[in-house]
Amino acid sequence: MTEATQKPDVPENIVLVGFMGSGKSTVGRMLARRLRFRFLDTDKLVEERAHLRISEIFEKHGEADFRGRETAALTSLCGIRQHIIATGGGIVTVPENIPLLRSLGLVVLLTAEPDEIYRRVSRNSERPLLQVEDPRRRVLDLMASRLPSYEAAAHFRVDSTRLQHVDVTEKIVEEAHRFFHWPQSMRA
Ligand code: S3P
């Protein structure tokens, strides 16, 4: 992770990256309400454009096709301002996505301990990458192999294992103030 200092040309958006179950959508919606920004989710954009659910895209066209659609969705966000953007957990696996993510604004990595992630994701069986014999092993392997890419993408990291979503949100708001040089009056 690099120093979280805004470059003059980086727009005011907050991009959330992290593994499935790290809380990107829930925290993203809270952040959007808190900062009065709009909320976007790249998974939802892909689904709306394809008129298919993510599980159907994986089933009918495979993961590589999904990744192409995900990069296209990310590219289409260029130029937006004052959005909170939640991303799919594998978005960092395509190297060209990393500069795209960073060009959108402050990139925040949400993490949690592997057992906590596994507990959260096993409540929802829709995720295609976890439809395997040993999903816990899969979670551990994917988390380990993706960590360097998450770190390359992110300016800042928050571990949510023992935090409430509202506390994670406040940590990100604080970091956004530093990053974007927002005045104190915007803190309320
Ligand atoms: C994926 C994570 C999912 C979704 C797709 C692939 C991944 O998003 O993009 O199932 O590769 O980790 P969430 O992180 O929102 O579950």
pLDDT for res 113: 94
Does residue 103 lie in a domain region?
Answer: yes
Give the Å distance between the CA of 180 and the centre of ligand 1: 28
Does residue 145 lie in a domain region?
Answer: yes
User: Would the pTM count as exceeding 0.75?
Assistant: yes
> pLDDT digit string (tens) for 69-112?
999 999 999 999 999 999 999 999 999 999 999 999 999 999 99
Taking a C-beta distance cutoff of 8 angstroms, is the pair 77, 40 a contact?
yes
Q: What whole-number distance in Å separates Cα of residue 16 and Cα of residue 88?
A: 9
User: Which amino acid residue places its CA nearest to atom 4 of ligand 1?
Assistant: 88
Domain that holds residue 61: 14-179
The CATH number covering residue 172 comes to 3.40.50.300
Does residue 33 lie in a domain region?
Answer: yes
How many residues would you count in the chain?
188
Does residue 187 lie in a domain region?
Answer: no
| Residue 181 burial (10 A CB sphere; 0-12, 13-18, 19+) | exposed
pLDDT for res 6: 59
pLDDT for res 156: 97
Q: Are strands 106-111 and 38-41 parallel, antiparallel or unpaired?
A: unpaired
Residue ranges for the chain with pLDDT beneath 50: none
Does residue 174 lie in a domain region?
Answer: yes
Does residue 74 lie in a domain region?
Answer: yes
Please tell me the total count of domains within the chain. 1
Residues with CB under 6 A from ligand 1: 20, 43, 54, 88-90, 127-129
Does residue 173 lie in a domain region?
Answer: yes
Pocket test for ligand 1, best of 20, 93, 143 (most atoms within 8 A of CB): 20
Does residue 7 lie in a domain region?
Answer: no
Give the Å distance between the CA of 185 and the centre of ligand 1: 36
pLDDT for res 2: 55
